[in-house]
Amino acid sequence: MKLPDKIDQIKSYLIQNDFPEEIEAAIILGSGLGDFSTTIDEPFSIPYNQIPGFPHTTVTGHSGELFTGTTKGHKIIAFSGRFHHYEGHPLETTVLPVHLAKAFNAKKLIVSNAAGAINTRFKVGDLMVIDDVFRIFQKVAPAVSQPYRYNLGPVADKVRSIAASIGLEVQRGTYLYAKGPSYETKAEIRAFRVMGTDVVGMSTAPELIEASRLELPAAAISLVTNMAAGVLNQKLDHSEVKAAAESRKDDFAKLVTELIDRL
């Protein structure tokens, strides 16, 4: 399937600057999860603002660097920061990491995010494997509006099995994609719970849908960084994201490392 012309240009620039020509896996690191980059062997990075044709990221918790190196001997690239639709980026731009992963012939894509828990059985710090996505009243661009052709369920089963083998307990459930940037209201969260969703966030769904279109195998993990509006009687605060990510950064890194090697 044809990729946007600028993807070849970006890939050529990266290869000229010591990136490999092919990789095993690409990882998109969500808010507060950029510390995974410190676990990469022989890391090398380029700031987004130095890559021709690359957008910038403006969100707290996203450093805005593209890393390469190896993990368990596998060549990888890792996006420390993503491009959200609510920042003003068109949906075609939000899926640029997926396009670049495909251009580098990645065998797998691992997507992560920070999310708010709708499911009252979840708690802050939980890692949840996404086995389905839900888009509520969202307009999507033609490039990311193709049928969702593969089922995340079997992938979620395998991720949970791998997690269990290294002593990690993970949840699984449905991720609700909301445009943002405002948090959802209490009434909306009550409605989303009735609809059967488990966590809510402002990314990931376009990336998974585009990976499906490109037939790029993908797994997705949410870190529960806060309880959604109305679940607890307290004000939502972005600082919660940093605290929750700090508490689980080692477990997250262990899991992603194993997924790169075994998924």
Task: pLDDT tens for the chain, 263 residues: list them.
Answer: 689 889 999 999 999 999 999 999 999 998 778 889 999 999 999 999 999 989 877 655 556 899 999 999 999 999 998 887 767 678 788 899 999 999 999 999 999 998 999 999 999 999 999 999 988 755 555 555 555 556 788 999 999 999 999 999 999 999 999 877 777 888 999 999 999 999 999 889 989 989 988 999 999 999 998 887 546 555 556 566 678 878 899 999 999 999 999 99
**H or E stretch including 224?**
strand 218-227
- Does residue 56 have a known ligand-binding role? no
The answer to whether 210 is a known catalytic residue is no
**H or E stretch including 11?**
helix 5-16
Give the model's pLDDT for residue 232.
56
The answer to whether 62 is a known catalytic residue is yes
Give the model's pLDDT for residue 89.
73
Q: Which residues contact 147 (CB under 8 A, 6 or more apart)?
A: 212
- Residue of 25, 117, 156, 202 marked catalytic: 202
Secondary structure of residue 74 in the 3-state scheme: strand
The answer to whether 85 is a known catalytic residue is no
- Does residue 62 have a known ligand-binding role? yes
The answer to whether 114 is a known catalytic residue is yes
Give the model's pLDDT for residue 83.
82
Give the model's pLDDT for residue 1.
67
Question: Any bridge partners for residue 219, and if so which?
Answer: 110
How many other CB atoms are there within 10 angstroms of residue 195's CB atom?
A: 12
Cβ proximity of 11 and 52 under 8 Å:
no
The answer to whether 202 is a known catalytic residue is yes
Q: What's this model's pTM, rounded to 2 decimal places?
A: 0.90
The answer to whether 78 is a known catalytic residue is no
The answer to whether 17 is a known catalytic residue is no
- Residue of 86, 145, 148, 191 marked catalytic: 86
DSSP code at position 56: P
- What is the topology classification, in CATH, of domain 5-262? Rossmann fold (3.40.50)
- Does residue 229 have a known ligand-binding role? no
**Terminal-to-terminal C-alpha distance of the chain:** 24
The answer to whether 169 is a known catalytic residue is no
- Does residue 84 have a known ligand-binding role? yes
E strands in 1-142: 25-29, 41-47, 65-71, 74-80, 108-117, 127-135
- Does residue 203 have a known ligand-binding role? yes
- Does residue 89 have a known ligand-binding role? no
